[in-house]
Structure 1
Amino acid sequence: MQQENVRPNSLTFVGVLNACASIVALEEGRCAHEQIIECGWDSDVFVGSSLVDMYAKCGSMEDAQSVFNKMPSHDVVTWNSMILGHVKCGQGQKALELFQQMNKEGVQPDSVTFVGVLNACASIVALEEGRCVHQQIIESGWDSNVFVGNSLVDMYAKCGSMEDVQTVFNKMPSHDVISWNAILGGCAMHGHGNEALKLFEQMCEEGVKPDDITFVCLLSACSHAGLVDEGMCCYASMITVYMISPKSEHNSCMVDLLGRAGKLHEAENMIKVMPGKPYVPAWRALLAACKIHGNVEMGERVAKQFLESEPENAVDYVLLSNVYAAAGNRHLCENVELKRQERGVENQTGRTWIEVKNEVHSFIAGNQDHPPMIEIHTELQRLLGLMHDVGYVPDTKFVLHNEEEEEKVFQLCHHSVKLAIALGLINTAPGTPL
């Protein structure tokens, strides 16, 4: 078109920008942007919206924001592009801030807006904000929309409120396979295996055909709940009844299911018959099971599968060390650590973040320099007393350092997650999600 000297108009640029967005062609999009400015189309609302959308879908939120700020006005489509772009880039908090700004400017959100905002709430586990959005959805009349309903179910599940999940799901006028997958995924996430199986029966009774994601959710739920026989039945029916070929995710779930149950040889055989290149997460799931059940011989054999192919991953060294630690072989633990150091693999310290009263706090294991550390220790001691009363005994065999038993117990009880939870508990009202 350019070679024939046909002058582009706004529709031309909208089409070109949509093409760039669809194939994530950022540099070509920037070249188109330069032409848009040269041709004087940069003040056109449709071209501006397409520019924002292109930059957002290409992951360049700074450019998207720059174009957005220069636009004389914003419609709901433009706001949606910005909100969805920030969600895609993992900036859930920024997406929520934009939604609040959109409301202040009096732009009415649509179903796409609410789906994006709910995804933002889910990504940062913002339950209270999600409930406020839910209320706005009801007031706007979008609560009967299946896409919004699916996002509500997903948001509540990821925020840990399964009661709200069930309430929203039951009120939906209809359910598609995405609706069922969302609630099944919530059951899997929270270990509700039997509930997932009941829901699957209900799904089939309503005539909704499951897909491959349905079975990933089901198998994961069975794995987390220790339902070995049920998981085996689901896997078999997926293949024979629903004619769905197992993918690496399904096989990894089965490896995890069998491994947790101590059926290590069955799990290993399943990996060996997987089509194509062995799936590394499946081997890691089996190695973790070897640690739990103390099978050093298999653990060594499994570790070789990816320590040779992916020698730069520190997680694998830790898993193999844990296998040796479970068997009480401190010497082999040290050998693994030496090999990690020789290969220059950095073992990053585990870190936990928690947001309390709009302030983010960071912890590492044994952290002693956080301001309210005395109160945190006091809360941990209270919790440990309650745990001891119901029979909890610290399992120190996986603490790799050669230290006294009392020091090992201290390390376990002052893990970064425990420190963060203690801070959350002493700074929030009872029943508040952390």
Structure 2
Amino acid sequence: MYGKCGSIAEAQDVFNKLSSKNIVTWNAMITAYCEHGKMICAQELFDTMGNNFIQQNVISWNAMISGYTKCNKAFASIELYQRMQYRNIKPDAVTYLCALKACASVGALVNGRIVHKKIHACGLDSTLAIGNTLIDMYCKCCSLKEALEVLSAMPQRDVISWGAVIGGLTQHSRYELALQCFQDMQEEGIRPVYDTYVSVLTACKCLKHVDEGYYYFKSMQEKHGIKPGMVHFNCMIDLLGHAGSLHEAVRMLHMIPSLSNLQGWMSLLTASKKFGNTELAYACFDQVVRLDPSISSSYVIMSSAYNN
């Protein structure tokens, strides 16, 4: 109870005063340490379990593997997962999820594939949570082909499955395929969410597909009731600006509830310089300086616009 409430000192005090401790109390204390990033304490407790005639079980190992990943020590997580195999502790679905997240966070593709083989041998790769985590791992390890293979093999897919693939394809410049997957997702009857449209509009921006970008920007509001955020507006401003539709980009910029949109003004400043609209460039430069006068690139762009 104390551990879940964040009172680690109280939890430790209660644990130390227990005359009889079982695997449940040991795991509870280890989990509390892990959840609060106290991995040295967690590791010490984990290592001393055997000295107290308590054998670590899968819950003990899962807590440690997950804890190291959350503390950005993924290689320690992977090493623990491997040690777990040597100790003949049978992993469960939680173990595999934690191990995959660790591999994803450091791009450990070879280790991720080994974990995937174990998952397949256990027949767990058909579960939605495992499938989604596999897709995320392969995308973050730059293996888009394997991510698409996992997606294709999944008996059930949701917006997280599709979103991970669409986001991964967009991040690795596979924009056409990202938009095709977006169409396939909707044909399956899966409704896109806020983050899906970030990837889709980014793909349209990079492809300079103005009409398609406009269509998706409108449909996210009118068809799906998703209120666009700053990131959606900035995608559209960038798309319109670099396509030469400067006045449309200005109109889009003024649609944002707050004008303190540094990224949007910088994007439009760059586009204005590109198309030789010095007057608009100066207006954008003025806004940028008001928001943050320390951005040196804005002065360089403005100087170049005048020189041209």
TM-score range, shorter-chain basis?
0.7 to 0.9
Q: Distance in 1 between matches of 2:262 and 2:36?
A: 29
1:121 aligns with 2:141: no
AA of the residue aligned to 2:93: S
- Matching of residue 297 in structure 1 with residue 282 in structure 2: yes
TM-score, normalising length: structure 1: 0.63
Quote the offset at 1:63 in angstroms. 2.6
1:217 to 2:203 alignment: no
User: Structure 1 CA distance, aligned partners of 2:109 and 2:232?
Assistant: 30
Greater Cα offset, 274-283 or 196-205: 274-283
SS of 2:3's equivalent?
helix
Q: TM-score, normalised by structure 2?
A: 0.86
Task: Give CA deviations for 1:187-211 in whole Å, capped at 9, x if unaligned.
Answer: 2112222222222222122111222
Matched with 2:11 is 32
Partner residue in 2 for 1:320:
298
Contact 1:226 1:261 in 2 (8 A): yes
1:143 corresponds in structure 2 to 125
Deviation at 1:51, TM superposition (A): 2.3
CA RMSD of aligned residues (A): 2.6
SS in 2 for 1:246: coil
User: Which residue of structure 1 lines up, in the alignment, with residue 43 of structure 2?
Assistant: 65
How far off is 1:260 after superposition? 3.8
Q: Report how far residue 173 of structure 1 moved.
A: 0.9
Q: What residue is the counterpart of 2:87 in the other structure?
A: 105
In the alignment, residue 133 of structure 1 is paired with which amino acid?
Answer: V
Q: Alpha-carbon deviation of 1:138?
A: 1.1
1:365-419 Cα offsets, whole Å, 9 max, x none, are xxxxxxxxxxxxxxxxxxxxxxxxxxxxxxxxxxxxxxxxxxxxxxxxxxxxxxx
Q: Which has the higher contact order (CA 8 A, sep 6+)?
A: 2
Once residues 269 and 19 of structure 2 are traced to their aligned partners in structure 1, the CA distance between those partners, rounded to angstroms, is: 61
Residue range with higher mean Cα deviation, 274-283 or 55-64: 274-283
**Any conservation in 2 of the 1:55–1:63 contact (CA below 8 Å)?**
yes
User: CA-to-partner distance for each residue in 1:50-99, whole Å, 9 max, x for gaps?
Assistant: 22222222223223223222223322222222222222222222221111
Are the structure 2 counterparts of residues 107 and 214 from structure 1 closer, same or farther at C-alpha, using a change threshold of 3 Å?
Answer: same
Of the three residues 71, 77, 81, the one matched with 1:95 is: 77
The residue aligned with 2:23 is: 45
Using a 3 Å threshold, how does the CA distance of structure 1 residues 67 and 251 change in structure 2: closer, same or farther?
farther
**Which residue of 2 is the match for residue 16 of structure 1?**
2
How many angstroms apart in 2 are the aligned matches of 1:30 and 1:242?
A: 48
For 2:136, the equivalent position in structure 1 comes to: 154
Give, as a single letter, the amino acid of the residue that structure 1 aligns with 2:3.
L
Does structure 1 retain, via aligned residues, the 8 Å contact 2:234–2:264? yes
Q: Which residue is equivalent to 2:292?
A: 307
Question: Please, which runs of 5 or more residues in structure 2 have no aligned partner?
Answer: none
Between stretches 166-175 and 258-267, larger displacement belongs to 258-267
Matched, 1:249 2:231: yes
Q: Give the number of the structure whose residues are more often helix, by fraction.
A: 2
Partner of 2:168: 186
1:362-401 paired onto structure 2 within 5 Å: none
**Aligned 8 A contact 2:34 2:68 in 1:** yes
Letter in 1 for 2:118: Q
Of 145-154 and 192-201, more deviation after overlay is shown by 192-201
The aligned residue for residue 381 of structure 1 is none
Residues 303 and 161 of structure 1, relative CA distance in 2, 3 Å threshold: same
Distance change (3 Å), C-alpha of 1:104 and 1:234: same
Identity of aligned residues (%): 35
Q: Distance in 2 between matches of 1:243 and 1:69?
A: 52
Kept in 1: contact 2:103–2:111 (CA 8 A):
yes
How far apart are 1:169 and its partner, in Å? 0.9
Question: Which residue of the partner structure matches residue 81 of structure 1?
Answer: 63
Worse-superposed segment, 62-71 or 153-162? 62-71
Tell whether the 8 Å contact from 1:191 to 1:225 is kept in structure 2 after alignment. Answer: no
For the residues of structure 1 that align with 2:169 and 2:206, how far apart are their CA atoms? 10
Residue number in structure 1 paired with 2:222: 240
Which amino acid is the alignment partner of residue 256 of structure 1?
D
What is the distance in 2 between the residues matched to 1:268 and 1:82? 51
Is the alpha carbon distance of 1:107 and 1:176 closer, same or farther for their aligned partners in structure 2, counting shifts above 3 Å?
same
